[in-house]
Amino acid sequence: MKIACVQMDIAFGEPETNFQRVTEYLEEAAENGADVIVLPEMWNTGYALTELEKLADGNGKTVDFLKRFAKQHGVHVVGGSVSTKKKDGFYNTMYVVDKTGVLVSEYDKAHRFGLMDEHIHLEEGQSLGTFELDGETFGGVICYDIRFPEWLRAQALNGAKAIFVPAEWPLARIDHWRILLQARAIENQCFIIAANRIGHDPKNEFGGHSMVIAPWGEVRMDMGNTEGIAYTDIDLSEVDEVRTRIPVFDDRRVQLYKKFEKLH
């Protein structure tokens, strides 16, 4: 499976500009034979959270765009995430469309990041975020979600062999980004495919380093801070091999963990 990660700057509060850039990147990746194209977090608006009333997608424009593109080019698209307006508020939403143009997942970011005011402007997601492509199970989380190992473990326990992570991760904490992604790959014995943005918005500088990490934890691809597309091939049979050699899931002691769980 050939993966294309798009690492791009995002025009703050300018959806039309960002749609044009994303269209160009999608076309380039499709022309280069990608099986799956992965976009970064909030690529339609950036973190213009105070302007979501006029900027967020409330009419299905994004998902219709991704469906048309995926079907026309015969490629799966993990549509990063976009700001969306729904009946009960605004969300940070990941759309996944398969190569036939069918929407196979609509995942709203589960954990809101207070340092970027998500808890003020966005609602919490309620779905797990697993889905199927080509008969295999995948998962998807968004940025801050990776700080919650139990959340990615839930996806792995539900069959995910690779987990996609679109992000707008700041440069100031880029070391956390690398370490957390490798840890999530190792502990869940799965591929982690992460697409981060670069550039600036009025309050933040973003760190890039979009990555693909294999189930043993080795970094197969790291884009540094360069804008563009990077490609790498993954073989999902590696997941089965690693999980057979070290059967972590079989050795879990769920009842022991529950015994000592505390609610805070």
Question: Which residues does the annotation mark as catalytic?
Answer: 41, 109, 143
Q: Which of 189, 97, 92 shows the shortest CA–CA distance to 141?
A: 92
Whether the CB-CB separation of 222 and 209 falls below 8 Å is answered with yes
Please report, for residues 59, 81, 163, the alpha-carbon distance to residue 131 in angstroms, rounded to integers and kept in the order given.
23, 15, 10
Only one residue has tokens 């508020």, namely 89
State the helix-helix crossing angle for 61-73 and 15-31, rounded to 10 degrees.
20
Whether the CB-CB separation of 41 and 80 falls below 8 Å is answered with yes
Which H or E element spans position 176? helix 174-188
